[in-house]
Amino acid sequence: MPLVNISLWPGRTPEKKEELAKAITDAVEKVLGSKREHIIVVYQDTPKENWYVAGNKLT
């Protein structure tokens, strides 16, 4: 049962998240051969001020 976690900055519309979830589901189904009903996509909206790259806060 593939579980795909996606961290995003807040602000994406529900429609865009659904579009991406469908595209990811299609890819996992095609590449891994998983059944669609077993593929889970989870979004975590994390504020930009909580993101760091190479130890540096994103600006």
pLDDT value, residue 59:
77
Please report whether residue 23 resides in a domain: yes
Which among 38, 39, 52, 37 is positioned nearest to 7, based on CA atoms?
Answer: 52
Asked if the structure places residue 41 within a domain, the reply is yes
State pLDDT tens for residues 7-57.
Answer: 999 999 999 999 999 999 999 999 999 999 999 999 999 999 999 999 999
Whether 8 is covered by a domain: the verdict is: yes
Q: What does the pLDDT read at residue 12?
A: 96
Residue 50 belongs to a domain:
no
Tokens of 21: 């979830």
The number of distinct structural domains making up the chain is 1
CATH of the domain at 16: 3.30.429.10
Q: Which domain holds residue 27?
A: 3-45
Note the helical H segments in the chain: 14-32
